[in-house]
Amino acid sequence: MKKYVIKFFQVEESEYTAIVEAESYEEAMDIFEESPFDYLEDKEPDSVEGIDYYVSKVTENGEVVYEEIKELIAEYREC
């Protein structure tokens, strides 16, 4: 029987509410992007969606048999 080493991430989607005082939307987003967690209304998440996992790499005898590089893409939308 072969031995495989599986590297994975636990992924939890948490929603927070940040309150930023600014003169415009653009200024608010600039301030927020510098340090988003400094502007949280509450340190605990508003909600937590299900926990998932993401396999990033699998090796067999030290050789990579699967690897995926996940690129973070963030979008901001006005609600």
Q: Please write the tens of the pLDDT for every residue from 14-35.
A: 888 899 999 999 999 999 999 8
pLDDT of residue 49: 77
How many C-beta atoms lie closer than 10 Å to residue 31's C-beta? 16
The Cα 53–Cα 9 span in angstroms is 6
* pTM assigned to the model: 0.49
At CA 47, angle to CA 18 and CA 41, rounded to 5? 25
